[in-house]
């Protein structure tokens, strides 16, 4: 069974630009969550989608947004990039968060903002 895939794996952007990251969950998983990982802050929750609806959102500015499609694939977008947005962005999928099921992570997208 294929795992969670994320594209692209690496990105270099300039301050002020915007970026879109993509995530394909494990087949049959309907929930997708996004996390930001930095050396200083560790893993921080961005948002979660289930059945195309955002169910939870972390404490990030409105520049961070996302969506989920009918096939459960998800995208996240960051507008007006800042240097502090440089991080590893991780996507995780689970069967149904309402049951407390575990999340499986993808390899991440390494975003560097210069």
Partner 1 sequence: EDQVTQSPEALRLQEGESSSLNCSYTVSGLRGLFWYRQDPGKGPEFLFTLYSAGEEKEKERLKATLTKKESFLHITAPKPEDSATYLCAVRSQGAQKLVFGQGTRLTINP
Candidates 11, 78, 90, 113: give the one binding partner 1 (CB under 8 A). 90
Backbone angles phi, psi at 98, to 5 degrees: -65, -20
Candidates 58, 60, 73, 79: give the one binding partner 1 (CB under 8 A). 58
103 vs 45: CA distance, rounded Å: 13
Q: Which is nearer to partner 1, 14 or 39 (CB)?
A: 39
Rule CB under 8 A: is residue 25 a binding residue for partner 1? no
Q: For the chain, report the end-to-end CA distance as a whole number of angstroms.
A: 37
Nearest to 23 by CA among 79, 57, 66: 66
Place of tokens 């007006």: 80
81 vs 93: CA distance, rounded Å: 26
Taking the complex as a whole, the smallest distance from the CB of residue 82 to partner 1 amounts, in Å, to: 23
Candidates 13-21, 63-71, 74-82, 93-101; binding stretch for partner 1 (CB under 8 A): 93-101
Residue ranges that bind partner 1, judged by CB under 8 A? 4, 31, 33, 35, 42-43, 45, 48, 50, 55-56, 58, 90, 92, 97-98, 100, 102-108, 110
């Amino acid at each position: 069974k294929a795992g969670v895939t994320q594209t692209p794996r690496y990105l270099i952007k300039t301050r002020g630009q915007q970026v879109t990251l993509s995530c394909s969950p494990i087949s049959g998983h309907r929930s997708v969550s996004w996390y930001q990982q930095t050396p200083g802050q560790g893993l921080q929750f961005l948002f979660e989608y289930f059945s195309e609806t955002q169910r939870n959102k972390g404490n990030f500015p409105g520049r961070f947004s996302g969506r989920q499609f009918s096939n459960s694939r998800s995208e996240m977008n960051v507008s007006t990039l800042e240097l502090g947005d440089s991080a590893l962005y991780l996507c995780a999928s689970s069967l149904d968060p309402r049951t407390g099921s575990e999340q499986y992570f993808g390899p991440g997208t390494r975003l560097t903002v210069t």
